[in-house]
Amino acid sequence: MTQFVSGRHFLHTPGPTNLPERVQRAMDRNAINHRGPEFGALGREVIQKLRPVFGTDGIIGIFPASGTGAWEAALVNTLREGDRVLISRTGQFSHLWEQMATRFGLDVMALETDWRRGADPLAIGKVLEDDREHRIKAVFVVHSETSTSCMSDVGAVREAMDRAKHPALLMVDAISSLGCCDYRHDAWKVDVTIAGSQKGLMVPPGLSFTAISEKAMAAARAGGSRRSYWDWEPLATANKTGFFPYTPAINLLWALREALDIMAEEGLPAVYARHARYAEATRRAVAAWGLELQCLDPHAYGPGVTAIRVPDGHSADRLRAVILEQFNMSLGNGLGRVEDKVFRIGHMGDLGVLSLMGALTGVEMGLRAAGIPHKAGGVQAALAFLSQAG
């Protein structure tokens, strides 16, 4: 039996993230007629309010689904069995996306990494240059690999694709980056950007988002695979009317509107600067503990989550279990290849400095309680940084 621990649960997984009180209240309403005028206005409003977060004036579709649903939609709308796609194996989420592509019969070309850095734009460019017959139909990039906390430079991937003069579609999974850092669907000429509600956007799980370029929409209209529920076409209509072709997740959309209002009130640059500050404070704590970050490339450090390795011979899962039991805090676990070797501190979404400091304190106490070799002083290092950074 788990023992009772008083105080509020500290949710520091990299999604789902904490819901602001205002977001919780916004959902706490009776449903409305999703074919009535109030709903149409809500649908149009949330799409408008999502635009600056995605950096797009184009189509943004919302499926009542988790992010995985939007992955599937991207594949079936634009690609058909046998089409070749290029993916960088940056971590567990690129692995799962690749697995899905394989299940759909796509011909996957993969670029390996050691799961400790982002995708290599030069390597992608080289493969595309060598693909003179343009057999590669799409390039998949996971912007923020939540499993490793490494970012990929989407703008640089786009430049590499342009240099190679390659017409492949650029598809980006921004599930754990959107709302945590600057994102530019239009400026980076991304064709498909996929996101979810439960991370930087501070909304419960259940909504997925897809920003679609005209080129990707044209590819979908011209082909793709058989599809029904996942068809993008009704999303384009929904962008104009605000209505969905099925029953939408009405209360989640109220939550989303409130969350986007909160982000606009803080100001998107301030939201992104806050995430960068918390990520840096967390890394300073890790350095002071003498532990190793999973991400080896300082240019690829992520804003919303930090994956930390435990020393060889120690169990990250046991550390997390001790922290949950003794301090009532949930951290992210190591996934796939880094299972039990890594634990992840989520610092995205609705978070104040004191919550972050509380989380880091919980980790430091947990390291001690679980007998993981480390140095004291991580909390002090983070505190010193945050005090200066304001």
Window of 53-61, 169-177, 279-287, 313-321 that interacts with ligand PLP by CB under 6 A: 169-177
Helices then strands (H, E): number in the chain? 13, 14
Q: Between 68 and 315, whose beta carbon lies closer to ligand PLP?
A: 68
Q: For the chain, what is the radius of gyration of the CA atoms?
A: 21
C-alpha distances in Å from residue 325, one per residue of 111, 227, 318, 343, 376: 40, 45, 10, 16, 21
**Distance of alpha carbon 41 from the chain centroid:** 27
Q: How far apart are CA 254 and CA 238, in angstroms?
A: 16
17 touching ligand PLP, by CB under 6 A? no
The pairing of strands 169-173 and 192-196 is parallel
Tokens of 345: 């501190």
CB 290, min distance to ligand PLP, A = 28
Q: Where are the strands (E) in the chain, listed by range?
A: 10-12, 59-63, 84-89, 107-112, 136-142, 144-145, 150-151, 169-173, 192-196, 208-212, 292-293, 305-309, 329-333, 342-346
Sole window of 34-42, 76-84, 171-179, 270-278 interacting with ligand PLP (rule: CB under 6 A): 171-179
In the set 68, 315, 328, 355, which binds ligand PLP (CB under 6 A)? 68
Q: How far, CA to CA in Å, does 352 sit from each of 8, 278, 295?
A: 15, 9, 24
Question: Does residue 330 touch ligand PLP according to CB under 6 A?
Answer: no
Q: What mask of x and - would describe binding to ligand PLP in positions 253 to 272, judged by CB under 6 A?
A: --------------------
Rounded-to-10 torsion of CA 62, 194, 197, 328? 160
- Our finding on whether 193 is near ligand PLP (CB under 6 A) is no
Interface residues for ligand PLP in 78-97 (CB under 6 A)? 93
- Which residue in 43, 67, 242, 346 binds ligand PLP (CB under 6 A)? 67
Q: Which is nearer to ligand PLP, 143 or 284 (CB)?
A: 143
Give the nearest distance from C-beta 143 to ligand PLP in angstroms.
8
DSSP 42: H
Considering the complex, state which of residue 344 and residue 374 has its C-beta at the smaller distance from ligand PLP.
344
Q: Shortest Cβ distance from residue 238 to ligand PLP (Å)?
A: 20
CB of 315 to ligand PLP, least distance (A): 22
CB of 66 to ligand PLP, least distance (A): 3
**In this complex, which beta carbon is closest to ligand PLP, that of residue 142 or of residue 259?**
142
Three-state secondary-structure class, residue 107: strand
Contacts of 89 (CB under 8 A, 6+ apart): 95, 98, 110, 111, 112, 113, 115
Q: Select from 10, 12, 15, 152 the one that contacts ligand PLP (CB under 6 A).
A: 15
Residue 173 binding ligand PLP, by CB under 6 A = yes
The one-letter amino acid code at 288 reads A
CB 75 within 8 A of CB 104: yes
Q: Is 175 in the site for ligand PLP (CB under 6 A)?
A: yes
Comparing CB distances to ligand PLP, the nearer of 66 and 225 is 66
Q: Taking CB under 6 A as the rule, does residue 113 contact ligand PLP?
A: no
Which residues in the 115-154 window bind ligand PLP by CB under 6 A? 142, 146
Tell me whether residue 77 or residue 147 sits nearer to ligand PLP (CB atom). Answer: 147
Tell me how far, at minimum, the Cβ of 142 lies from ligand PLP, in Å: 5
> What is the total count of residues that contact ligand PLP (CB under 6 A)?
11
Q: Is 98 in the site for ligand PLP (CB under 6 A)?
A: no
DSSP 249-297: -HHHHHHHHHHHHHHHHH-HHHHHHHHHHHHHHHHHHHHHHT-EES---
User: Does residue 13 interact with ligand PLP by CB under 6 A?
Assistant: no
The reply to whether 16 sits near ligand PLP by the rule CB under 6 A is: no
- Residue 152 class from Cβ within 10 Å (0-12 exposed, 13-18 middle, 19+ buried)? buried
> In the complex, which residues of this chain contact ligand PLP (CB under 6 A)?
15, 66-68, 93, 142, 146, 173, 175-176, 196
